[in-house]
Homo-oligomer: A and B are copies of this chain.
Amino acid sequence: MAKEVDHIGILVSNLEEATKLYQDCFGATIEKTETIPERGVKATVLTLTRGTKLELLEPLPDSNMARILEKRGEGLHHITFEVDDVDGELSRLSELGVELIDKKPRPGLEGMVAFIHPKSVRGVLVELCQKV
């Protein structure tokens, strides 16, 4: 079961400009920036004073994420629930009939992660994350 919302993924066309916006407007601070070729993005994790983080995602050229940005524009992309056992949760959700994008956890920015298909979560792309 989900413990809390770890972060909210937000698709942006320009990471630098978007980061400055969240800093200036909402007081967010940069936790880290990493390029993740296998997800087709450069990502900056932003923190507020406490609680849920924001993950700004700028697509790499010619990636699947670049096509999503072109089609849908900038905006909210996914929410990530922190769980204790992502492998166990995938099994449990699969038994409930939930369609998974990742059948097995894979390394993410801060632990093992797996995505659930939005068609099983009423249009919301959900990521599960088990911190290491």
Contacts and interface: CB of A to CB of B under 8 A. Distances in A.
Contacts of A48: 2-5, 81
Interface in A8-59: 8, 10-13, 17-18, 21, 24-28, 48-52, 54
A132 interface: no
Interface in A79-105: 79, 81, 93, 96, 98
B51 A5 contact: yes
Interface residues of A, number: 41
Contact of A28 (B2, B21, B54): B2
A74 B126 CA distance: 14
Given A8-B79, A93-B25, A74 B123 contact: yes
